[in-house]
Amino acid sequence: MPIALIPEGLAGLRADLGVARLFGVSRSQVEQACLVGDLQMNGAVIDKATKLQAGAMIELALTEPRAVEVRPALVGDLRIVFSDADLIVVDKPAGVAAHPSLGWEGPSVVEHLAAAGFAPCPAGPPERPGVVSRLDVGTSGLMVLARSVLAYDALKQAFTDHRVTKIYQALVQGYPVPPAGTIDAPIGHVRTGEWKMMIDQRRGRSAVTHYQTLERLAASSLLRINLETGRTHQIRVHMAAVGHPLIGDTLYGADPTRANLLKINRQWLHAVELSFDHPRSGDVMHFHSAPAGDLASALAQLRD
């Protein structure tokens, strides 16, 4: 287990960046350690965004990394919405991961772009070049990737500074009260080996979700959701925590019979809008995507 004191030159840096430099490991290795509570500063577990303190004792437990292979393959219904020398915006279908990873054998956005002839971005880990934010495998909609180092650094910082607008639509069980509001509750990893998140007041990372009811339907509500932060499974965890899990999201307590009736085999969640400043020109970029076909069919059935 690497142990060291934080030197003055690394003070103030994010933990994932500073610890990677200190121990000569990859940022992705540090991020993975954070997910399972294996990075500590002065004896306290920290996350990847924690600022390092000069003179503090840092402890990192690492497992031997296994290589993740990128195997180019086209995804038939993945649509490229916009592309230039700096970035690519895609409309991702459900059933597609953002990038290849251990344990995932299905298609990914990164592998589709490789097969489509896009050169990998020179920034980011080899298995996820240019990936600055992700959508769950079961979530469809808009996602941006960097093609240049300039765009990668600028978009990463924009997401960190909450200067990227991410709007989702979600179909949830029941009727939230109040019909519009904010959920502010930290999210952490369930430490059972299962890839699942939870509200964690002690060790979780800050997470803020704003929601607004767009439509009341049969025993369900269509919501507009604006994320202030971008934690893993944030919308799913927050809505389940207030008693309104997403239709189809059985991992977080949704009633499977409702999903079966609506012919939904994943969570009803779609990234409908994405806005940010172009990293080179500064122009405001705004994109919109209508809910995917299976989600639209479920809505139509509820409206009949």
Residue of 47, 91, 136, 249 marked catalytic: 136
Name the β-bridge partners of 211. 181, 225
**Does the active-site annotation cover 136?**
yes
Peptide bond into 178 cis (omega under 30): yes
> Which residue is associated with the tokens 């924690």?
50
- Report the helix count and the strand count for the chain, using DSSP H and E: 7, 15
> Which residue is associated with the tokens 């994405």?
274
Task: Give CA–CA dist 225/235, Å, rounded.
Answer: 8
Task: Give CA–CA dist 80/129, Å, rounded.
Answer: 17
Task: Give CA–CA dist 140/125, Å, rounded.
Answer: 23
Asked if 286 contacts 273 with a C-beta cutoff of 8 angstroms, the reply is yes
User: Catalytic amino acids?
Assistant: 136
